[in-house]
Amino acid sequence: METNELHRGRLIDHIQLIVRDLPASRRFYQAVFDTIGIPIAGEGDNYFWADELFISSADSEAAAGRLTGRHHLAFQSRDRATVDAFHEAALAAGGKDNGAPGERPYHPGYYAAFVLDPDGNNIEVVYHGEAMYSADSVKVTF
């Protein structure tokens, strides 16, 4: 089945990762978010968050003392250079290479890189090729 139009931002409200070493994760994700242009939106003693990703330590109230386990998270990029910059910055911030920047066989133009975060989560930044976006973000007002 051919897809001519994709809608993003309707399935996931938020994701929470519970990590072993919050300062190490903060350094790693700060480097990642800096390269893809997403600011850290807030933080406290045992958590921080950006956009719809919440990262907290096992001693946070929401964690109930348990780590979340391994996940794969893919962040969107607007170009190949950002994918390359992500890979370099994530490795410099303590990540482990899990796939150098390059084209992948998922569909024509799929260019991505993969890095394991300090807890072993597989973090990907992907550029899907030339595309038109209807908006830079979805604005929700309460």
In-domain check, residue 139: no
Nearest to 111 by CA among 99, 102, 123: 102
6 pLDDT more than 70: no
| pLDDT tens digits, one per residue of 45-54 | 999 999 999 9
pLDDT at 130: 85
118 pLDDT more than 80: yes
pLDDT at 101: 98
Please report which confidence band the pLDDT of residue 122 belongs to, taking 50, 70 and 90 as the band edges: very high
In-domain check, residue 101: yes
In-domain check, residue 54: yes
CA 43, 54, 25, 83 dihedral sign is: negative
Count: domains in the chain: 1
8 pLDDT more than 80: no
In-domain check, residue 132: no
In-domain check, residue 91: yes
Residue 36 sits in a domain of what CATH number?
Answer: 3.10.180.10
Name the region of 69 (left: φ>0; alpha: ψ -120 to 50; beta: rest): left
Q: Are strands 96-103 and 111-116 parallel, antiparallel or unpaired?
A: antiparallel
pLDDT at 9: 66
In-domain check, residue 114: yes
In-domain check, residue 22: yes
| pLDDT tens digits, one per residue of 21-55 | 999 999 999 999 999 999 999 999 999 999 999 99
pLDDT at 7: 63
In-domain check, residue 19: yes
Mean pLDDT of the chain: 90
Domain that holds residue 44: 15-60+68-127
Query: What is the spatial distance between Cα 46 and Cα 95, in angstroms, rounded to a whole number?
Result: 21
